[in-house]
A and B are shown apart, each in its own frame.
Chain A
Amino acid sequence: MFMRLTDIVGFDKEKRSFELYEKEKGTPDPFGAWRDGRAKDEKEPPFPRSVCEAYELFSKEFNRGKNGDVVLRRFLTGKRRASLAVYMNGMADDTKVNDFILRPLMTFEGERITLKGLLENTIRIGETRRVSSLNEVFLAVMDGMTALFLDGESEAAILETHGFEKRAIGSAENEKVVSGPKESFTESLRTNITLMRRLIHEKDLVAETGLTGGGGNTRLAIVYREGVTNEALLTEIKRRLGRIRTGSILTSGMLGQMIEDDRDSPLPQILSTERPDRAASRVMQGCVCILVEGSPFALIMPVTFFSLMNSPEDVYLRKPLGTMLRLVRYAGAAASVLLPGYFLSLTLYHHGILSTEVLSTVMASRMMVFEPIGVEMLLLLFIFQLIREAGQRVPGNIGQAIGIIGGLVMGQAAVTAHLASPVVLIIVAASGLGNFCIPDYQTQLAASYFRIFAVIAAWMGGLLGLSAAVIAAACHMAGLKSFGVPYLAPFAPRAARKRPLIFRGDIGMHERPDDVTNTSFDGRLEEEE
């Protein structure tokens, strides 16, 4: 019983935490050790030596009777050697398969037919390789490649024939900027990597692709700069990815939660962005970017609170304008979180702070409102959240209309019906607008829900309750880490930084990587003499 109690409270259990400043002891299994997506001890079927064996094997493995899109094409290479092409209809490009694989092979007139020779001379596909592992063949076929078997060969050829339909590159819907690139990531991993490469013309840029998840269902790419990004950070990320054991399909959002330091925290410890320019800028700073197949959001790590509050537009504008934007943003964020609670504490407990005019105005505005001011505040905050969620779920112009209708009509109706007072409505509206100033969506949500907590604390204890809530939140943030980087860095702890924290420094200050990412070198080009 005593032991259980100590277990519950967690006495003497040191919580393992990753420090970016220290080298990780030992190295994890190489990333992609389970590329085949199965546990190591699972036995692989023997490689088929004949086309018939291969045909039977693939029919069984891919449930050909039920699976209508698996294509097992038997043919004769050079009109004499039995061959089998395996691909997924819809994943592979039919034109490539027909024109660059089947036709050349069928019309082959050479004397000697070997897999190596065909790959070198006949098959007109750019990316090819030979494999002897069936698991690799299975993964390749599921990925949109074509597997080629020749009767009697001990290897199969994997031919790049991706041809699935994908969405065209569109504009970022959730991270709009006025003066800056408009492109956003798509669901295709290949396209996303390409978008990064278009922006980062450095040969040290590495896009390490692999699989994760217990079943190897999730294909992703880790993008970083070799020689710049901290090795310990990379090792730790790969270790966390290797630990994932799940049968579900992972989107970037789920993947991010699985590798975060503290999953219970409402604050994100990974930046999720749909903008390639933002991702590229962070990678240049020494961060690591994870792109996930099927997800148009990139995951950037490590992040700090200040990097979540920065918008790419800050550096696209001139220094004074960028600075003003940031100041407005921080003021908006502070107002969003603290204004409702502060107002409530003044009207319930600390009337003396308000001037006589404001007191009189608030008293007059609340004359016919029947509910207590705390209930009124919470009700309006709740309605605000409702309008926000409804506006997001409903598409296009109707969504905008809901925002306008909800805001204007309901607000006015609430005041007329004495459900709300104008002053409280203004406070909630100002707080809501301030919330939208926060660039990161998850941080926005965390702030908008924290303010409800702050309102309740202010309702119960006035400025004392509000202070207690703020201190508790700050304490949480002070102890939070994102892949070894303290959340409030470079302010707490202090880290060397060229550029100011809140003000937008000179554009030259944005050349160097952040000290918090502990890069191998400062990434700055040598000055020309």
Chain B
Amino acid sequence: MKTKLMRLFAAITVFASIMPLSACLDPVPLDECGFVITIGIDRGREKRFYYTFALQRPLSEQNTDAEGGAIALAAEGDGIFEAINEMEGNVPYSLDFSRTNFLIFSRETAEAGGAEELISTSFDALKIRTSAVMIVSEGSASEFIGGMYSNNDANISKLLSALMLDEKKTGMVTVMSVSRLLEACSDGRFDYCAAYGVYDDGIITDTGQKKSESDGKNPLAEVEIGDRAGGLKSMIVGAAVFSGFRMTGTLTRYETMLLNMVTGAFKTGVVTFPYKDTGGTVSVLLSLEKSRLAVGNDLSGSARITLTAAVHGKDADVPDSEIDAWLTGELPGILAEDMLNVFMKCRGADSDAMRFGTEAVKLFSTAAGWNAFLWKERYRDFLPAFYVAVKNADKYIGEDMQ
């Protein structure tokens, strides 16, 4: 019994002497954190960069009538840590970046390669997940973030995600995570493509309409014919192509859709084409069946894309049979030509946004061979052929309905 007690005492002593050495692992309670949802980076006035952080506001009854659901913090700094130190000086919580989902760069910053500094040094230290999505804003990033505020949904992260992923459904937006940027810059197999957004102050948002209504006015009183109304002031309008860490060009929505078709990221989308010279238009629902890129040993290349198309509407006084013939006959040529134009635009911006490099690497059996190949330089002379096949989906629908 005595031995057992001595044994117990020895165990407790050992345990008790270890525990004070370990102590807690520096917990930070939830209510003492500010969760940064979005980071905006602009060119600074006195320092190199101007950082804007959008924080998620705690949701409670008191906040439902407040404007939007985000708190914005902003400060200048030569690096992000300097800005964070500046900000934390007057906020009663510590900033937590584990929920950061969006990085918004102004065009100026993106063209100057500002992404490299933030991403290569800070991600691990700030514990930002590399699934964060990059957006380049035509104007300033802080303005773009401000345009995301909405009274209808206080969850700003959800708003941005919904915006991005809904846009993706149209096929006219490219949504890529930061990990893709790192991958692109690590061994040059392809180049990154970020979503490109603008801020339009003229848009009367849902919040504005609600305010008008609550003032007893017509919610659309200030909207003129031709103006945009509803939704948010910030929107995605295309893609920004990169060469390494620098932004080198932009693509329109249609061009982004074509880019997505070639890279295989496209699912479905509706495009309105002018029908020959009739002055009318045809709206076509396109779906991607397959996209195959090939690069040969002699640096020849090809892109073979197969699409299915269904006519959604026409504004031309033309019989359906003629449009069917146009779908499978002429439309492929139009698309192939447009894709080539997009390729040339990207190549002109020194960007392998169409990812031909990912096929070129398959020609090599060693990493040394690939590294010695210098794809980035050879890409400047690379000219692939684009082949597009379009299948008429209407025919199948028609048959089923019989």
Which A residues are closer than 8 A to B by beta carbons? 7-10, 347-349, 351-352, 356-357, 359-367, 372-373, 459-462, 464-465
Q: Which residues of B contact A361 (CB under 8 A)?
A: 59
B60 to A: closest C-beta gap in Å:
4
25 contacts between A and B (CB under 8 A): A7-B6, A9-B7, A9-B10, A10-B3, A349-B28, A351-B33, A351-B35, A352-B99, A352-B129, A356-B158, A359-B35, A360-B59, A360-B155, A361-B59, A362-B31, A363-B33, A364-B63, A365-B60, A366-B29, A367-B58, A367-B60, A460-B22, A460-B23, A461-B22, A462-B27
Q: Does residue B127 face the partner (Cβ distance < 8 Å to A)?
A: yes
Q: Which chain A residue shows the least CB distance to B60? A: A364
Partner of B99, one of A7, A8, A359, A366: A359
A518 to B: closest C-beta gap in Å:
31
> Considering the chains assembled together, what is the distance between the CA atoms of A7 and B154 in angstroms?
66
Q: Which residues of A contact B27 (CB under 8 A)?
A: 348-349, 459, 462
Q: Which residues of A contact B25 (CB under 8 A)?
A: 349, 460-462, 464-465
Q: Report whether A351 and B58 are in contact in the complex, using a CB–CB cutoff of 8 Å.
A: no
Q: Which chain A residue shows the least CB distance to B37? A: A356
For B3, B59, B157, which residue has the most chain A Cβ atoms within 10 angstroms? B59
Which B residues are closer than 8 A to A by beta carbons? 3, 6-7, 10, 22-25, 27-31, 33, 35, 37, 56-60, 63, 96, 98-99, 127, 129, 154-155, 157-158
> Given known contacts A367-B31, A459-B24, is B58 in contact with A360 (CB within 8 Å)?
yes
Q: Report whether A362 and B7 are in contact in the complex, using a CB–CB cutoff of 8 Å.
A: no
> Given known contacts A356-B155, A356-B158, A359-B35, is B29 in contact with A373 (CB within 8 Å)?
yes
Interface majority SS (helix, strand, loop, mixed), chain A:
helix
Partner of A366, one of B31, B35, B63, B158: B31
> Considering the chains assembled together, what is the distance between the CA atoms of A257 and B278 in angstroms?
96
Q: Which residues of A contact B23 (CB under 8 A)?
A: 460
Q: Report whether A10 and B98 are in contact in the complex, using a CB–CB cutoff of 8 Å.
A: no
Q: Which residues of A contact B3 (CB under 8 A)?
A: 7-8, 10
Q: Which residues of B contact A460 (CB under 8 A)?
A: 22-25
Other A-B pairs beyond A356-B35, A465-B25, 7, CB < 8 Å: A8-B6, A351-B99, A356-B157, A357-B59, A359-B30, A363-B31, A366-B31
Q: Which residues of B contact A366 (CB under 8 A)?
A: 29-31
> Given known contacts A352-B99, A366-B30, is B24 in contact with A359 (CB within 8 Å)?
no
> Considering the chains assembled together, what is the distance between the CA atoms of A461 and B18 in angstroms?
14
Q: Which chain B residue shows the least CB distance to A373? A: B29
B286 to A: closest C-beta gap in Å:
34
B169 to A: closest C-beta gap in Å:
22
Q: Report whether A356 and B29 are in contact in the complex, using a CB–CB cutoff of 8 Å.
A: no
Q: Which residues of A contact B60 (CB under 8 A)?
A: 364-365, 367
> Given known contacts A348-B29, A459-B27, is B98 in contact with A360 (CB within 8 Å)?
no
A421 to B: closest C-beta gap in Å:
9
Q: Report whether B98 and A352 are in contact in the complex, using a CB–CB cutoff of 8 Å.
A: yes
A71 to B: closest C-beta gap in Å:
44
Q: Report whether B30 and A347 are in contact in the complex, using a CB–CB cutoff of 8 Å.
A: yes
> Considering the chains assembled together, what is the distance between the CA atoms of A183 and B98 in angstroms?
57
> Given known contacts A9-B10, A462-B27, is B35 in contact with A357 (CB within 8 Å)?
no
Partner of B127, one of A352, A364, A365, A461: A352
6 A-B pairs with the lowest CB-CB distances in the bound complex, closest first: A352-B98, A364-B60, A348-B27, A363-B58, A360-B59, A364-B58
Q: Report whether B28 and A348 are in contact in the complex, using a CB–CB cutoff of 8 Å.
A: yes
Q: Which residues of B contact A357 (CB under 8 A)?
A: 59, 155, 158
B23 to A: closest C-beta gap in Å:
7
Partner of B29, one of A9, A360, A372, A464: A372
Q: Report whether B6 and A362 are in contact in the complex, using a CB–CB cutoff of 8 Å.
A: no
> Considering the chains assembled together, what is the distance between the CA atoms of A460 and B22 in angstroms?
9
A415 to B: closest C-beta gap in Å:
14
Q: Which residues of A contact B154 (CB under 8 A)?
A: 360
Q: Which residues of B contact A364 (CB under 8 A)?
A: 58-60, 63
Q: Which residues of B contact A465 (CB under 8 A)?
A: 25
Q: Report whether B30 and A373 are in contact in the complex, using a CB–CB cutoff of 8 Å.
A: yes
Q: Which residues of A contact B57 (CB under 8 A)?
A: 360
Q: Which residues of B contact A464 (CB under 8 A)?
A: 25
Q: Which residues of B contact A363 (CB under 8 A)?
A: 30-31, 33, 58
Q: Which chain A residue shows the least CB distance to B32? A: A363
> Considering the chains assembled together, what is the distance between the CA atoms of A357 and B37 in angstroms?
12
Q: Which residues of A contact B35 (CB under 8 A)?
A: 351, 356, 359
Q: Which residues of A contact B7 (CB under 8 A)?
A: 8-10
> Considering the chains assembled together, what is the distance between the CA atoms of A46 and B202 in angstroms?
117
Q: Report whether B56 and A356 are in contact in the complex, using a CB–CB cutoff of 8 Å.
A: yes
Q: Which residues of B contact A7 (CB under 8 A)?
A: 3, 6
Q: Report whether B155 and A8 are in contact in the complex, using a CB–CB cutoff of 8 Å.
A: no
Q: Which chain B residue shows the least CB distance to A464? A: B25
Q: Report whether B98 and A461 are in contact in the complex, using a CB–CB cutoff of 8 Å.
A: no
For B27, B127, B157, which residue has the most chain A Cβ atoms within 10 angstroms? B27
> Considering the chains assembled together, what is the distance between the CA atoms of A10 and B3 in angstroms?
9
Q: Which residues of A contact B63 (CB under 8 A)?
A: 364
Q: Which residues of B contact A367 (CB under 8 A)?
A: 31, 58, 60
> Considering the chains assembled together, what is the distance between the CA atoms of A359 and B55 in angstroms?
12
> Considering the chains assembled together, what is the distance between the CA atoms of A461 and B27 in angstroms?
8
> Considering the chains assembled together, what is the distance between the CA atoms of A363 and B30 in angstroms?
6
Q: Which residues of B contact A8 (CB under 8 A)?
A: 3, 6-7, 10
Q: Which residues of B contact A347 (CB under 8 A)?
A: 29-30
B339 to A: closest C-beta gap in Å:
39
> Considering the chains assembled together, what is the distance between the CA atoms of A357 and B156 in angstroms?
10
Q: Which chain B residue shows the least CB distance to A365? A: B60
> Given known contacts A10-B7, A348-B27, is B58 in contact with A356 (CB within 8 Å)?
no
Q: Which residues of B contact A459 (CB under 8 A)?
A: 24, 27
A196 to B: closest C-beta gap in Å:
37
> Considering the chains assembled together, what is the distance between the CA atoms of A94 and B342 in angstroms?
112
Q: Which residues of B contact A348 (CB under 8 A)?
A: 27-30
Q: Which residues of A contact B96 (CB under 8 A)?
A: 351
Q: Report whether A362 and B24 are in contact in the complex, using a CB–CB cutoff of 8 Å.
A: no
> Given known contacts A352-B99, A366-B30, is B24 in contact with A461 (CB within 8 Å)?
yes
> Considering the chains assembled together, what is the distance between the CA atoms of A7 and B35 in angstroms?
56
Q: Which residues of B contact A349 (CB under 8 A)?
A: 25, 27-28
> Considering the chains assembled together, what is the distance between the CA atoms of A347 and B33 in angstroms?
10
B35 to A: closest C-beta gap in Å:
6
Q: Which chain B residue shows the least CB distance to A462? A: B25
Q: Which residues of A contact B24 (CB under 8 A)?
A: 459-461
> Considering the chains assembled together, what is the distance between the CA atoms of A365 and B60 in angstroms?
8
> Considering the chains assembled together, what is the distance between the CA atoms of A10 and B8 in angstroms?
11
> Considering the chains assembled together, what is the distance between the CA atoms of A362 and B33 in angstroms?
12
Q: Which chain A residue shows the least CB distance to B96? A: A351
Q: Which residues of A contact B56 (CB under 8 A)?
A: 356, 359-360
> Considering the chains assembled together, what is the distance between the CA atoms of A348 and B56 in angstroms?
18
> Considering the chains assembled together, what is the distance between the CA atoms of A308 and B10 in angstroms?
33
Q: Which residues of A contact B29 (CB under 8 A)?
A: 347-348, 366, 372-373
> Given known contacts A348-B29, A351-B30, is B10 in contact with A356 (CB within 8 Å)?
no
B270 to A: closest C-beta gap in Å:
32
A375 to B: closest C-beta gap in Å:
11
Q: Which residues of A contact B98 (CB under 8 A)?
A: 351-352
